[in-house]
Amino acid sequence: MYVSDRNDRYWALAAHLSIILLPVIAPLVILILRANSRFVRHHAGQALLFHIIWGLLMMVSGWLCWILIGFPMLAIFGLMGIWTTLRAVFAALNEETYRYPITGNWM
């Protein structure tokens, strides 16, 4: 995908890494601020959708901990979140598009 500005990949990187501090807010703000860049819009939209779905999966897993099935689910979804976020970060740095596996083609 064509990157129109040299800073675009850093905005895309920030959208993916925002899962650490502001999981839903930061990608939404980046999506609004950098709406003129297709590259940033793609990455911020993917990050926003992933953060919402991943947060819901972690919340449901936490609720299921009382019947013990939630503990392995938390571990699996936690590792999945780390792995897919790292893949998305490297794709953004290499100016490539990336789709999170659990988001499908919704965005």
pLDDT, position 72: 96
What is the residue type of 46?
Q
Mean pLDDT score of the chain: 91
pLDDT, position 96: 92
Give the model confidence (pLDDT) of 14-38 as tens digits. Answer: 999 999 999 999 999 999 999 999 9
0.75 cut: is pTM over it? yes
- How far apart, in whole angstroms, are the C-alpha atoms of residue 61 and residue 57? 6
2 — pLDDT class (breaks 50, 70, 90): low
pLDDT, position 4: 66
CA 35 to chain centre: 17
Domain boundaries, the chain: 8-93
